[in-house]
Structure 1
Amino acid sequence: MISARTPGAPIGVYDSGVGGLSVLRHIRAQLPAEDLIYFADSGHAPYGEKTEQYVVDRALLVAAFLLERGIKALVVACNTATVAAIKAVRARYPDLPVVGVEPGLKPAAAATRSGKVGVLATARTLKGEKFLQLREQISAATKAEFLLQPCIGLVDQIELGDLETPAIAALLEQYVAPLLDQGADTLVLGCTHYPFVQTGIERVLRAHGHQDVTLIDTGDAVARQLGRLLDGAGLLHPAPEAGQPSASLHGYTTADVGALAPAFANLLGLHPKVEKVVV
């Protein structure tokens, strides 16, 4: 096992389920030489309806598990876990580079023309103190109005793997249409699961005559920040030379392997080894 804090060590990417795969694809695109470990805590999901302390406890347990496997950095690729637990993870492991996902309020405030931004997120994210402070700061600085829409049940449906079901279509209509009615011209995808139903969201926008609405996905920014942190710490993996094996990817889940493995295949076209673990 390669010890952590060396360029050859893997990066841990953690989410409550499969949503973090939307961040993983940006990391693989921007940092193709990096070995990656993806952890889906699907056996304890969804986080959006759990207490903040529950999410903190889970995040610390998962971080410890990934550190035992030698990670050099951790990406908390879950909006709910970032809001609730990233402060605790950084306090527990001060020497570990940790990157979270922030709802894209700042870029949304810059993009809006009407001054009204819809935020699609889990109930837990929208109740989080960190999120509410961020909203107040950006609203005061930009005068943008943030319309908060908890998307109850949407993560559960996305986790099932079929993204074109009538149930998902109905939920997207239920949650997106009221934001359009209130004048939102920019929508923040405030959960890493939601980029996987972007096509369905765009279908709702077209049905309501709002094709010009801007969608904000922060996965690309997370990957860029990860690259900056690794570079600054001297931890970027050198590009492999000709003939060397390509970067590895390994999956762990606290639920059924039969949920995560198809998600890798269906959402990313990947077929890594996936193991079920008790954490």
Structure 2
Amino acid sequence: MSGMEKRSAAPIGVFDSGLGGLTVVRAIAEALPGEELVYLGDTARVPYGTRSAHTVIRYARGCGTLLAKHGIKMLVVACNTVSAVALDHLRVELDMPVLGVIEPGARAAVRASKSGRIGVIATAGTVGSGAYPRAVASFETRAEVKQLPAPLLVPLAEEGWLDGEVPTLVVRRYLEDLMRGDLQIDALVLGCTHYPLLSGVIREEAARVAGREIAVVDSGVAAAGELDETLRARGLLREGASGGLKLMVTDRPGRFAEVAARFLGRDLDGLEVEQVDL
């Protein structure tokens, strides 16, 4: 096996502060079924969104360094908070391609929006960082972005309340607040990796509140598409094989395993969750 073949056969590392990044793993596995994936959820220190930038960078370095020890060929940061503040630090320290979820999501939203008016729902930390408006502006200076924190969607996703009256009313309340005023959005970015589990309700309520179809953008799906492009451009795509998944967490592997199947969209099929220290 040549050096390039060995490199292309190496796994892709993915990390998040907890469970949400598994929706990105799901998107990657669907787009690139031949790739080996290694996932790390830093469940001992979740959430990252309430931490200082200095602390988030330190945590991100620890996660990236651990995954690098697994011989990964590329790192995907499935955490919006880390994507906002730490990507450049990780690229320098790890000396490998590092992809976040904010820039792909922003780019996809610009493509999806016909009017240039884009909405973003995310955690308070991601909204406060201003990362999505900056990313959108880097692709289209005339675009306008309106953001809204939607924190209650995270526990709804983790508890499996994905349809019915409660999630519908919560989503409706958030979207009514987001769409109130003069900025009539035609694209909505799901700026938290938990939110794709509620995408059906979000899409229905967005159309109901707006009175028309709204393009709903999943940043994880957008990141998976850009990962595909990057691997192909660098000759790192793993082809002719069936991919696999390794799961690691820093705390409560049992609880993680209970909920992981919902985020992955499939049973774990005996897949073990390993607890690691950073």
- Scaled by the length of structure 2, what TM-score is found? 0.85
Q: What is the correspondence of 1:138-177 to structure 2 with a 5 Å cutoff? A: 138=139, 140=141, 143-164=142-163, 168-177=167-176
- For the pair 1:93 / 2:94, whether they are aligned, the reply is yes
Query: Where does residue 256 of structure 1 map in the other structure?
Result: 252
Report sequence identity in percent. 34
CA contact (8 A) 1:126 1:132 kept: no
Query: Where does residue 270 of structure 1 map in the other structure?
Result: 267
State the shift of 1:40 in Å. Answer: 1.3
Query: Where does residue 20 of structure 1 map in the other structure?
Result: 21
Partner SS, residue 146 of structure 1:
strand
State the shift of 1:164 in Å. Answer: 4.1
State the shift of 1:188 in Å. Answer: 1.0
Partner SS, residue 274 of structure 2:
strand
Note closer, same or farther for the CA distance 1:130–1:180 as it changes in structure 2 (3 Å cut).
closer
State the shift of 1:252 in Å. Answer: 0.7
Query: Where does residue 64 of structure 2 map in the other structure?
Result: 63
Unmatched tracts of structure 1, length 5 or more:
241-245
CA contact (8 A) 1:46 1:155 kept: no
Unmatched tracts of structure 2, length 5 or more:
none
Q: What is the correspondence of 1:49-60 to structure 2 with a 5 Å cutoff? A: 49-60=50-61
**CA distance in 1 between partners of 2:30 and 2:75 (Å):** 17
Partner SS, residue 125 of structure 1:
helix
Deviation string 1:128-160 (CA, Å, 9 cap, x unpaired) is 3654532444553xx332111122343344334
CA contact (8 A) 1:48 1:80 kept: yes
Note closer, same or farther for the CA distance 1:165–1:16 as it changes in structure 2 (3 Å cut).
farther
Partner SS, residue 65 of structure 1:
helix
- Scaled by the length of structure 1, what TM-score is found? 0.84
What number of residue pairs does the alignment pair up?
269
The amino acid that maps onto 1:126 is: V
Note closer, same or farther for the CA distance 1:26–1:78 as it changes in structure 2 (3 Å cut).
same
Note closer, same or farther for the CA distance 1:159–1:86 as it changes in structure 2 (3 Å cut).
farther
State the shift of 1:236 in Å. Answer: 2.1
The amino acid that maps onto 1:92 is: E
CA contact (8 A) 1:117 1:146 kept: yes
**CA distance in 2 between partners of 1:44 and 1:161 (Å):** 22
CA contact (8 A) 2:16 2:42 kept: yes
Deviation string 1:94-151 (CA, Å, 9 cap, x unpaired) is 2x121111253343334335543211122222233654532444553xx332111122
Query: Where does residue 180 of structure 1 map in the other structure?
Result: 179
Query: Where does residue 243 of structure 1 map in the other structure?
Result: none
Residue range with higher mean Cα deviation, 249-258 or 216-225: 216-225
- For the pair 1:218 / 2:215, whether they are aligned, the reply is no
CA RMSD across the alignment: 2.6
State the shift of 1:269 in Å. Answer: 0.7
Note closer, same or farther for the CA distance 1:115–1:228 as it changes in structure 2 (3 Å cut).
closer
